[in-house]
Amino acid sequence: MSDVAISVFVFAIYLFITGIGFVFIPNILLPLFKFPKTNEPWIPILGIVITSIGFYYLIAAQNELMVFFWATIVTRSVVGICFILFVLTKKTPPALVIFALIELAGAIWTYLAF
């Protein structure tokens, strides 16, 4: 597996962990990031979406799909910037910056691995 594929593979693992956490233990994870506990269905639904995206990352990494790797650099950068903007505009708790930094760090790692 190439360095760039490894960066995407590691991000797939992060997505699996995050997604599965949101599906099965959202009210343990949410307070860790200063989000309120909830019984709304949106967090587990988001967890399924995140886990599904993780599967795409895994398959792309295993198959060295370079065009996908480039696309993730763009999308993870946009997601990271949007998360920071959500915090700056007080739409979300400041702890969302942690997820923003993970997204941006992953994008940078993948970019540098090329």
According to the model, what pLDDT value does residue 47 have?
A: 97
Task: In the chain, count H helices and then E strands.
Answer: 5, 0
Contact (CB, 8 A) for 22 and 44? yes
- In whole angstroms, what is the distance from residue 114 CA to residue 100 CA? 22
According to the model, what pLDDT value does residue 33 have?
A: 85
As averages over each run of 10 residues, the pLDDT of the chain (114 residues) reads 97 98 96 90 96 98 98 98 98 94 98 97
Residue 63, both tokens: 């198959």
According to the model, what pLDDT value does residue 34 have?
A: 84
DSSP 74: H
